[in-house]
Structure formats: C-alpha cells, structure tokens
Chain A
Amino acid sequence: MSGRDMSGTDMSGRDMSGTDMSGTDMNGREAKTVLEVVDLVKHFGPVRAVDGVSLTVAEGEVVGLVGESGSGKSTLGRCVTRLVPVTAGEVHINGTDISRLSRHRLRPLRRDFNIVFQDPASSLNPRMTVGDIISEPLRLHRVGTRVTQEQRVTELLDQVGLQAEVSRRYPHELSGGQRQRVSLARALSAGPSLLVADEPTSALDVSVQAAVLNLIGRLQADLGFACLFVTHDLAAVEFLAQRVAVMYLGVLVEVADREALFAAPRHPYTQALLSAAPIPDPVVQRGRQRIVLSGEVPSPIDPPSGCRFHPRCPVAVPECATVVPALRPVGPSGELVACHLVNDDGTGPRLT
C-alpha cells in the first residue's frame, strides 16, 4: 500500500481541509482514512448523476449517505466500488486510486471493498448454494484451501446469525431477511476494509429491518470495517451512522456528525428532509412544523444553475440562482454545508 502516504500529500494540497478533518477526527482518535472520494463525477450520457462529490470514510466509521430518488446516492455507491466506470475524479481506497485502474488491475484489489444491495430477491445467484455464494470471493482471490474456505463459511454464517447447515441451501429457500444476511456474509467473507451498503434494509419488513440493522451495527463494531451506508431512510441512518452526508441532485449539501445533523440541520434541504419524515409518535408528529417543499426534484439532465436546490428553497436569494455554493466547514465543530445563507459561525436560516 505505497499509495497511502502519496495521497496524504495529495490531500494537503487540496481545498479539502474540512473533509479531511472530519475523517480523522472521529471521537478524537486518529483513525485511518479508508475511503476518500475526491471530486467524483459520473455522467450517464446527458444525465449528471453525480456531479463533483468529495467524501471520506474512516476505519471503523459508518457514514450515512442520505438522499431521495434521483439524488445519485446509489450511483455514488457503485462508482466507489467501480461497478460503473467513473467519469472524472478520484476514488482512493486505503490510499490507492482505483478510479482509473483497468478492470484487470483492479480485480486483486477488490478484496479490500465490497457491496451489499437492496433487493434480496435478485442479489443472490439462484443457481448457487449459500455456501458457494459466500465462499466466492475466497475462491476468486485464492484465499486458503477448500477446507479453510468451508470453515470460513461456517464462521461467517454464525456471525450473521444463520446456522451452518444453511450453506447447503439455495437462495429461494430463504426468507428476505435471511438472504440479506447471506449477502452480508458474502460481502464480508474476504475481510474487506470497506463495505458499501446500498439500501440494505429498504425492501424488508419493519421487524426484519430491525434485525438487519442490528446485525450491521454489531458486525461493524466487531470487525471494524469502514461502512458507506446508502439509504433514503433517515431513521436507519440516525440509528447506525456516526456521520451523515446529505445528497441532492448529484451534489452533497451537508456533511455532519449524526447528533449535530439531526439536532440542528443547517442546509434548508436537510431541514425540509428531516421535517418531512414522519415520526412514529402521534403526539410528537402532530405537534411538528412541517416544511413542505414546492415542486419536485428537477431533472439531473439539466440541473438548476447556482445552488441546485434554489428553485425549491423557501429562503433562496438571487445569489443562489447564479453562484454555486461551495461545501465549506462552518461553526465551531466544522460541519460541512453548501449554502450561501449559512454563516461561517454556523448560524443560518431556520425554516418553519
């Protein structure tokens, strides 16, 4: 991993001080940066799905990437794992920039990162047994012998709360929650340092969702991998993530520690998003002020000029339509916000 120090110097030269800080400052201890995304751009033809995103995830950290449909959050997750080619920008994993590696050169590095998907029905090969699915990364990276691979499968099944005999089953014999556990075991089998979880609980029932969230939290605490948790479910993010990045129409609008973000969201969009999610407590919910946004998310083919949120923003000023706001650190603890109206001391508009 010779590239790590190189990217360190790379970093200091960039206007990335804020991201850098929150990446290494978690809980006051020095945490190694596992994932570092720099100015990532992904266009599908005319669709500007991701348009310049910078983000870090440190060892042992869960970063929640929140956004609504069309925000580009899933595309970002697929770029980070190079399941789609990157249009521009860099993706450093443990210091190595994987954004431009050939697929052939990339393959051995894939031991270090993996992904779980949303749909438990389509994310497991129906023609393979659970044991073969989980040991696939081990076989592909030639880790261990047949015997040790089988032992590893049993160990992984135990870690995700399934019995060893499940390894002989086929996916269609399992429930949605069980399949999601198998997906997790598969993604973690080669011992990656980064896990991208793309809406892993969104297709599940509430009670099953709870079990899978508990499991991800426990695995993450036990194994210490870095996790980019992509979701639209604010409650799940608040439960699982230490840091939260909010995405809107291909760009990040706010990145902050969980407590700070949920207690005092600074960006108007974050405020609207949090206020729109109903809280399952009728007394609280009926007493809340809800910010109803006008209009709909604009098309990522022709995103609005200036701040992409300005056509729907209740407090927008003329500057918002012309000048693109930079994601910059504000307030005493340096939360990152991309909004002209938020002051450097962190004060700004409060929508009601």
Chain B
Amino acid sequence: MTTFELVTLDETAARPQALGGRRVLRRLRRNPLALAGLIVVVVAVILAIFANQIAPFAPDHTNFSAALTPPSARHWFGTDELGRDQLSRVLFGLRVSLSVAALSVALSLVVGVPLGLAAGFYGFLDPLVSRVADTLLAFPFLILAVGLAAILGPSLGTATIAIGVGNVPAIIRITRSEALRLRGLDFVAAAVADGASDFVVLRRHILPNAVNTLIVQATVAAPAAIIGEAVLSFLGLGIRPPNPSLGVMLASAQPLFRDGPWLAVLPGICIVIVTLGLNLLGDGLRDALDPRESPR
C-alpha cells in the first residue's frame, strides 16, 4: 500500500539510534568473517576457562601403555611419548596461552597508555617518551626476552613481561597519536573552557574517545602475544615442562615429528585458529567501531 516512505528526521523527534555496544554488535553481525572470529575467540576462552571440567584427563596424567597413540575415539588428539592425552594438554595449553596474551596486553596497556597520553597531551614530554619508545622498538624482542630471563629466571611471568614490554612502544605510539588528534578537537577546548583540569580532560574527554582504537590494537597484539609465548616457550624461556602451553607442546613435539606428527600438527592448528580468530575479530572491530556514522 505504501508506495513511498518519507523519512522526516524532525528537529524535535530525531530517531533514537542503537548506541555503543548494541550498534557495534549489529555492525559486526553484518560482517561474517568478523563474526566467525568472534565465535572462535569466545569458544577458545570458554574452553580455556573450563579446561578442568572439559578435559577428559589431567594434563600430566601419564599412561605408558598408551604412549604415542595416534588420534582415536579415546584420545581425540592422540597421546605423546609419555601417554599423556593431547586434547587435555591442548586445552590447558590454551589456558596458558590465552592468559599470557591477556596479561601481556594488559601490562602493555597499563604502561603504554599513560605514557602515550602524556606524550600526546604535553608537547614537552613528547620527545622524551617517543625516544624511549623508539629505543625499545629498536631492541630485538628476543634479545629483550633472553636478557629478562637471565635476570628474572625463565618462567611464564618472565615471558609475559617480555611480551608485554615488547608491545609497549606500539601502544605508546597509538595512544600518543590519538591524544594528539583529539587534543586539537573543539570539544577538548570546550572542556578546558568549562573549567576542566588536565586530569579531567584526559580521563573524561580524551581517553574514552581513544578506547576504540586501543581495543583494535589489543586484538592485534593478542595473537602476536600467543605466538610470542610459543616462541619463548619453544626456546625454553617461558613455561617449564611438564606444564603445557601450546608453544611448549610444539617444542617437545619437534624430536618426535616422524613418530607422532599429530603432536606438532594439532597444537599448531590450534594456534593458527585462535590467532586467526583474534585477527579477524580485530579487523571486524576496526570497521564496526569506525566513528563515522553509516551513510544515510
């Protein structure tokens, strides 16, 4: 019946729009790749959290009578040379890997965001902070990790710190450029004119508007951290056997590759899937959080 629709956006009755989270979710849903990424990440996190309940065996439960069995109905991911159930080890490994990713990203945010805000907001601090960030960036990540391990002793904590510190320059740079951009906008000037202190300006006006960019950056940094942990554990600088992480599992599978290729392949695939999921989610969030309103 209605052959037309006159969209009148009246001054007094503007159409309320879905806000914040709901709008982002709606936009994410239109992007199948990002949605797939979101599902992968959510499933991985659930599996990691409930590893205790889900895992069919304890990760360090050995059974020499079933050593090096290929994937079967009983051991979906097979067993290693000590007869440990690989599925259980992957689940607990996932927990370690995701924890390292989350903690290291959190560490880099805690250190990098204040420094980036200060550099972007206070011009006189900028040269100093940027120089420190550049120096850190110029330092090879592995050397940094080895150095740290030498001082603190190799452990999961050391790996987390090394990965987190390695990610700080990127966070500083992104926060700084956001602060620089936002500092020039009129609403920040308006806040100053309203009587806001620097802290209030940074806390209420600059930081909330930089959050989107930081979320995207975090989803980019997380898969890198997972791989970083794998590399460090592979080199023996991270978690110590027998505790599993995806990286440790890869490392210990190396000498057994001919007898038990599943030992390397399956954890490897897990790393690929989780990092790919995080990357897709990051890309999708980047689009969904784009401040530009959808064209009318």
Decide if A and B touch, CB cutoff 8 A. Answer: yes
Taking Cβ atoms with an 8 Å cutoff, the residues of A that contact B are: 78, 81, 83, 103-104, 107-108, 110-111, 113-119, 122-128, 136-137, 140-141, 163, 169-170, 172-175, 177-178, 183, 186-187, 190
Name the interface size band of chain B: 20 to 34
B272 to chain A, nearest CB (A): 36
Shortest Cβ distance from B207 into A: residue? A127
Closest 6 CB pairs of A and B: A123-B186, A110-B195, A117-B186, A127-B208, A140-B195, A137-B194
How many residue pairs between the two chains, A and B, have CB atoms under 8 Å in the bound complex? 81
Q: Are B209 and A163 in contact (CB under 8 A)?
A: no
Known: A122-B187, A183-B190. 15 other contacts (CB 8 A): A78-B189, A83-B189, A83-B193, A110-B193, A115-B189, A115-B193, A123-B186, A123-B190, A126-B187, A128-B204, A136-B196, A172-B293, A186-B190, A187-B193, A190-B195
Question: Once the chains are docked, how many angstroms separate the CA of A204 from the CA of B14?
Answer: 18
Query: Cβ of B195: which chain A residues have Cβ within 8 Å of it?
Result: 107-108, 110-111, 137, 140-141, 190
Q: A117-B190, A122-B185 are in contact. Are A127 and B196 (CB under 8 A)?
A: no
List 19 A-B pairs, Cβ < 8 Å. Answer: A83-B192, A111-B195, A113-B193, A114-B194, A117-B186, A117-B189, A122-B185, A123-B185, A124-B190, A126-B209, A126-B291, A127-B208, A140-B194, A140-B195, A173-B17, A178-B11, A178-B14, A183-B190, A187-B190
Check if B11 sits within 8 Å of A177, measured CB to CB.
yes
Measured CB to CB, the nearest residue on chain B to A196 is: B193
**Cα of A137 to Cα of B194 in the assembled complex, Å:** 5
Complex CA–CA separation, A19 to B204 (angstroms): 41
Neighbouring A residues of B197 by C-beta, 8 Å: 104, 107
Q: Which residues of B lie under 8 Å from residue A116 when comparing CB positions? A: 190
Contact A115 B190 (CB under 8 A): yes
Q: Which residues from chain B sit less than 8 Å from chain A, CB to CB?
A: 9, 11-12, 14-17, 19, 185-187, 189-198, 200, 204-205, 208-209, 291, 293
If A107-B195, A126-B291, A175-B9 touch, whether A119 touches B14 (CB-CB below 8 Å) is no
Question: Once the chains bind, are B193 and A136 in contact (CB under 8 Å)?
Answer: no
A residues near B186, Cβ cutoff 8 Å: 117-119, 122-123
User: Given the complex of chains A and B, what is the CA–CA distance between A174 and B193 in angstroms?
Assistant: 23
Task: List residues of chain B with CB within 8 A of the CB of A173.
Answer: 14-17
What is the minimal beta-carbon distance from B171 to any residue of chain A, in angstroms?
Answer: 20
Q: Return chain B residues, CB-CB under 8 Å to A126.
A: 187, 209, 291
Q: How many whole Å from A116's CB to the nearest CB in chain B?
A: 8
> What is the distance, in angstroms, from A48's C-beta to the closest C-beta of chain B?
21
- For residue B43, give the distance in angstroms from its CB to the closest CB of chain A: 31
Task: Write out the residue numbers on chain B whose beta carbons fall within 8 Å of the beta carbon of A141.
Answer: 195
Find chain A residues with CB under 8 A from B198 CB.
103
Cα–Cα, bound, A110→B201 (Å): 15
Contact of B194 among A104, A119, A186 (CB under 8 A): A186
Contact B209 A110 (CB under 8 A): no
Which residues of chain B have C-beta atoms less than 8 A from A113's C-beta? 193
Q: How distant is the Cα of A96 from the Cα of B293 in the complex, in angstroms? A: 44
CB-CB under 8 A for A110 and B194, given A124-B187, A174-B14: yes
